[in-house]
Structure 1
Amino acid sequence: MSTTTSHTPPDSEGEPEAAVASGGDPDRLIHNETTTEIPVHLLYRDAPDPATSVTVPLKPVVVAGRHGIGEQSRLPGRPPARGRPLPDVDPELMERPARVLPGAVGVLAGLCGLLGCLVISWWAGLLSPVAVAVLRLPRSAGVGLGPVQWVAYAGAGVLGIIGFGGLVRGRSERAWVLGLFGRYRGTVRRTGLLWVNPMVPRRLVDVRLRHWRSEAMPAADPDGLALRVVVLVVWRVRDTARAVLGIEDHEAYLRECVEAALARVPVEPQGESPDGVTAAGDALSRLVAEETAPVGLEVFSVQPVRVEYAPEVAPAMHRRRMAALDARQRAGMLSSVVDAVEDTVTRLTARGLVELDDYERKALVRDLTVAFCSGRGEPS
């Protein structure tokens, strides 16, 4: 049961009146609303003293999980979602430099292994007297091959194999991706002679700026007619770890992304619109770049270089374009004939060469039109 009380200010004339209305509660339009009783004397109190007043910041009242009325509550720090987010990238697949040594270290280790094998052979007495004389070595004791000599041979051989086997040549715009036991170990982008652990498998990746001209791919124009489009893609590998280890074949993935983008972006045939191919190329470049970025590829441009109608609709579209071209030519010829007739009649009458009434003017216009159309229609 609700009660409404009205209060007349003291400065008004007459006695204050009070009215009490009783009745059932009306139906609430918003079921989760709340009401708060306000004392009547607070409505007409004097203005607060600025020196003694205290300001309390107000906070919105949350009612049934909502802020106020008509606004959904949002968790702080979480902006509304805008489309599907990109897939998460494993931190282990972020490109990082691998640990390598200068090539001189591998050459020195290989030479030490060869020298060790030579010394062991001299120690065991396996060198011929001629080799001993040429190398100016002292006379060997000739102890023969025993367990000690075999162990020394094995050590020197392993040292030589590791030294020479780990030598690689780093080239510009090439990168070596290293991995061991299925784990990414780093990428080598340095140039020159380097030494890499020969026990670590490595894969050479081309990181140069590359151009790929595709084969004819299916597409559609704004009207939904089938097209065959050849595109030129300018791209490169930006993150070798994700491009090599994140997917099976990054070149095949790029080709599939271009085909998927052509299925979603309409392409206008060349000659239909001056900016149609350019706009389609910009849309394709933006879409393919967004889809290939999570796998370490950087796409700079995807531009259609040849746009043709599919064989099943090509004859019909050729006839349609020829008819439109013929109509434009006829309209242009008619406009030029009308301008020529108008200019001729105006000059004749303005200079006073002839005096024409309406009937003669119409006849002259008709004859000049026929004459000009016949002259324009004759092959040159």
Structure 2
Amino acid sequence: MEKSYSAISGYVLVVVEFILAVLIIFGFTRGMVLPGVLMIIVFLFLAPGFMIVNPNESAVLVLFGSYKGTIRKNGFFWANPFLTKKKISLRARNLDSEPIKVNDKIGNPVMIGVVLVWRVQETFKAAFDVNDYEHFVTIQTEAAIRKLAGLYPYDNFEDEDAEITLRSGGEEVNEELEREVTDRLKIAGIEVIEARINYLAYAQEIAQAMLKRQQATAIVAARFKIVEGAVSMVEMALQELRKKEIIELDEEKKATMVSNLMVVLCGDKEATPIVNTGSIY
């Protein structure tokens, strides 16, 4: 587990180093060679211990293979020169993944890309529990995408019982993605701030076929509305004619009128009227 390390202020050791430098010069000018050499050794030993920790940055300290702690406080510090210091950024980072080909719940190949906002929460796990935590984030995010795709269909054209789909799931799908990524990245001490799908499409090999299917579905739905509206208009026209007693129509005339009105109202092109100047019979 991560633990805090209390380092000495670097400014104190700067003063010590300055005093040593003055004593070294004084010793050599007075002919005290041995004390001067010893102070040079001490000066050189202390020098590598200085380090700077920037805001939203940490330093993981290891002494001969033993974890000693993490410095999270920013500033200028000095620590044992034998300590190995590994800097780990605590800033939030973006992962904009390239769209990858996966199979949805019913086996259709789809392309999915996500945006992941993450940061290191536990430096001990990030430094020692995985080999490369940045690469680990990338690989596990792809694995989470593949699992998410297997939970939902792309749309409900083929799975009409699906209440949630990748295309229309919205927040529910994003929340499931965030939960899956969070569970996978816990081992590396990574906090997931946000995970969202930013690209979703059918794979190229079936995109044209699916587009035609969607167009056909849209055309059928539009035709249904047109016919429904036309029937209502014909019914209203017959009722108004009968109500206002404009003309008496027998069943044959009603059928002809209904046929003509349906052609006019449901046709793809504008109807061309034909004026009959003789008898309607």
1:333 and 1:95, CA in 2 relative to 1: closer, same or farther beyond 3 A? same
Distance 2:51 2:155 in 1: 49
Instruction: Tell me the secondary structure at the aligned position of residue 265 of structure 1.
Output: helix
Q: Which residue of 1 aligns with 2:16?
A: 109
Distance 1:122 1:348 in 2: 125
- The answer as to whether partners of 1:289 and 1:300 remain within 8 angstroms in 2 is no
- The answer as to whether partners of 1:233 and 1:301 remain within 8 angstroms in 2 is yes
Mapped pair 1:239 → 2:132:
no
Runs of 4+ in 1 over 6 A off after TM superposition: none
Q: Which residue of 2 aligns with 1:340?
A: 233
Q: Which residue of 2 aligns with 1:177?
A: 60
Q: 2:146 aligns with which of 263, 281, 289?
A: 263
Instruction: Measure how far apart 1:119 and its partner are.
Output: 0.9
Q: 1:305 aligns with which of 198, 205, 210?
A: 198
Distance 2:219 2:109 in 1: 24
Mapped pair 1:121 → 2:28:
yes
Mapped pair 1:329 → 2:222:
yes
Q: Which residue of 1 aligns with 2:109?
A: 226
Corresponding residue pairs, total: 260
Instruction: Measure how far apart 1:220 and its partner are.
Output: 1.9
- In structure 2, stretches of 5+ residues that fail to align are 158-164, 271-281
Q: Which residue of 2 aligns with 1:97?
A: 4
- The answer as to whether partners of 2:56 and 2:74 remain within 8 angstroms in 1 is no
Q: Normalized per residue, which structure has more strand?
A: 2
Q: Which residue of 1 aligns with 2:274?
A: none
Mapped pair 1:290 → 2:183:
yes
Distance 1:103 1:310 in 2: 57
Instruction: Measure how far apart 1:277 and its partner are.
Output: 4.2
- The answer as to whether partners of 1:270 and 1:277 remain within 8 angstroms in 2 is no
- TM-score if structure 2 supplies the norm length? 0.83
- Identity, % of aligned pairs? 25
Distance 1:301 1:290 in 2: 13
Instruction: Measure how far apart 1:245 and its partner are.
Output: 1.0
Q: Which residue of 1 aligns with 2:254?
A: 361
Instruction: Tell me the secondary structure at the aligned position of residue 185 of structure 1.
Output: strand
Q: 2:134 aligns with which of 251, 255, 277?
A: 251
1:362 and 1:176, CA in 2 relative to 1: closer, same or farther beyond 3 A? same
Distance 1:228 1:268 in 2: 13
Q: 1:372 aligns with which of 246, 256, 265?
A: 265
CA offset digits 1:294-329 (Å, max 9, x no partner): 321122332211112222222222222222222222
Mapped pair 1:208 → 2:98:
no
Instruction: Measure how far apart 1:287 and its partner are.
Output: 1.6
Distance 1:155 1:351 in 2: 121
Instruction: Measure how far apart 1:352 and its partner are.
Output: 2.5
CA offset digits 1:319-340 (Å, max 9, x no partner): 2222222222222222232233
Instruction: Measure how far apart 1:107 and its partner are.
Output: 1.0
1:306 and 1:269, CA in 2 relative to 1: closer, same or farther beyond 3 A? farther
CA offset digits 1:137-174 (Å, max 9, x no partner): xxxxxxxxxxx51x323332233334443222222211
State the AA in 2 paired with 1:312. Answer: E
Q: Which residue of 2 aligns with 1:155?
A: 38
1:112 and 1:163, CA in 2 relative to 1: closer, same or farther beyond 3 A? farther
Distance 2:129 2:8 in 1: 27
State the AA in 1 paired with 2:11. Answer: A
Higher-RCO chain (CA-CA 8 Å, sequence separation at least 6)? 2
RMSD over aligned Cα, in angstroms? 2.3
Instruction: Measure how far apart 1:283 and its partner are.
Output: 1.7
Distance 1:197 1:336 in 2: 84
Instruction: Tell me the secondary structure at the aligned position of residue 336 of structure 1.
Output: helix
- The answer as to whether partners of 2:62 and 2:84 remain within 8 angstroms in 1 is yes
1:360 and 1:204, CA in 2 relative to 1: closer, same or farther beyond 3 A? same
- The answer as to whether partners of 2:129 and 2:187 remain within 8 angstroms in 1 is no
1:377 and 1:331, CA in 2 relative to 1: closer, same or farther beyond 3 A? farther
Q: Which residue of 2 aligns with 1:68?
A: none
Distance 1:153 1:313 in 2: 80
- The answer as to whether partners of 1:208 and 1:236 remain within 8 angstroms in 2 is yes
Q: Which residue of 2 aligns with 1:131?
A: none
Q: Which residue of 2 aligns with 1:350?
A: 243
Q: Which residue of 2 aligns with 1:38?
A: none
The structure whose Rg is larger is 1
- The answer as to whether partners of 2:127 and 2:133 remain within 8 angstroms in 1 is yes
- The answer as to whether partners of 1:105 and 1:163 remain within 8 angstroms in 2 is no
